[in-house]
Amino acid sequence: MSYPYQQYPPVPAYQQPVPYASCPPPHWGWMVTAILFFWPLAIPSGINAARVESLYAAGDLAGAQKASEDAKKFGIIGLIIGLVSVVFGVVILIIIGLVFAAML
């Protein structure tokens, strides 16, 4: 007598060892940079930096790596926005200074 069911491969008695991977860096420095140059992006940068170690401790290496990359990404974007704003502000001040100097 034959039963119509699918046969599955045998389950191993033990889990294969996972290669050791170190905890990704949380990039707190990029969060500080975002605070100094464009603070709204420091919030997601700080949240992601704080999540890195807890995700790693929970065994979610991919999530920890993603949080680390996001913390760095938001910090770099904050730096770029801040530097562009400073350059734009200096250019505007120079133009205003030249306009008022021409009025004299």
91-101 pLDDT per residue, tens: 999 999 999 99
Domain contains 53: yes
Tell which wins on pLDDT, 10 or 75: 75
What's the half-sphere exposure (Cβ side, CA atoms, 13 Å) at 12?
4
Domain contains 12: no
Number of domains in the chain: 1
Domain contains 76: yes
Asked if residues 43 and 21 have their Cβ atoms less than 8 Å apart, the reply is no
The domain in which residue 71 lies consists of 28-103
At 76, the pLDDT band (50, 70, 90 cuts) reads very high
H/E stretch holding 88 reads helix 61-103
Sign of CA dihedral 53, 54, 59, 65: negative
pTM attached to this predicted model: 0.74
Give the pLDDT confidence of 24-46 residue by residue, as tens digits. Answer: 999 999 999 999 999 999 999 99
Domain contains 86: yes
Domain contains 35: yes
Domain contains 19: no
